[in-house]
Structures are given as C-alpha cells and as structure tokens.
Structure 1
Amino acid sequence: MSNFKLDLFKFDLARAKKCYNKKQVAKKAGLSYDNLMKILSGRISLTATSLGKIAKALDVEPIELIQDED
C-alpha cells in the first residue's frame, strides 16, 4: 500500500475524542494548517510521514485513520 487516503470520518472521530480543532491537530502534528487542509481535501497526497504525525498527534495508530481498501 503506497497511496494512503485519510478517512475523514475516522479523522473527525479521533479529533473529537481529543477535543481538538483542525488547527490544534496541525500544530501538534508539526504540519502547517494549510497543508493539513490540503491533505483533508485531497489536493495533496498523504505521505506515510504525514500520516504518522497526524496519528501521533491524535494518539491513535495510523491504520485507524486510513480508508479501508475496497
């Protein structure tokens, strides 16, 4: 699996569990808010590194944030 796709519903659930807004997630993940928004909208690809940073910021495993393969 080389192309990761963030599951927005799972992302929002993890974010809600931590009571973080998107700006807080970006800051805790060490990403710019603009880049996080581009990842969420699909305008830029989600890299393994960015996935790891987002998962760590939300205290979840990376697999919990990606879309299931169809």
Structure 2
Amino acid sequence: MSNFKLDLFKFDLARAKKCYNKKQLAQKAGLSYDNLMKILSGKISLTATSLGKIAKALEIEPADLLKNEE
C-alpha cells in the first residue's frame, strides 16, 4: 500500500483523546505545522514515515488512522 488515506474522523478522535491541538501534535510528531496541515488538507501525500510519526505521537497503531478501503 503506497497511497495512504488518512481518516480525518479517526485522526480528530485520537487527537482529542490526547487533548492535543494540531500545533502540539505536529511538535510531538516531529513534523512542521505547515506539513501537517498540508497532509490533512490533501495537498501533499501522507508518507509511511509521517503516518508513523503521527501514530507514535498519538500512541496508537498507524493502521488506526487509515480509512478502511473496501
């Protein structure tokens, strides 16, 4: 799977559970705020590395942030 699709609902839910705003999450994940916002808006593709960083910051599995493709 090379084209990851972030599930924004799952992302927001996981972020809310940690009480992180987007700037805090970007900092904890080691991403720039601008890049996080571009990922969320779909302007840049979500890479495996970025997915892993976001999931680690949220203390969840990367698969828990992806849309279920059926």
Q: Taking structure 1 as the reference length, what is the TM-score of the superposition?
A: 0.98
Equivalent positions of 1:7-46 (< 5 A) are 7-46=7-46
| 1:69 counterpart SS class | coil
Shift of 1:28: 0.3
Equivalent positions of 1:39-58 (< 5 A) are 39-58=39-58
Q: Taking structure 2 as the reference length, what is the TM-score of the superposition?
A: 0.98
Shift of 1:23: 0.3
| 2:12 counterpart SS class | helix
Summarize deviations over 1:22-48 as a string: whole Å, max 9, x none: 001100000000000000000000000
Distance, in Å, in 1 between the alignment partners of 2:41 and 2:61 is: 21
Gap regions ≥5 residues in structure 2 = none
Gap regions ≥5 residues in structure 1 = none
Give the letter for the 1:22 counterpart. Answer: K
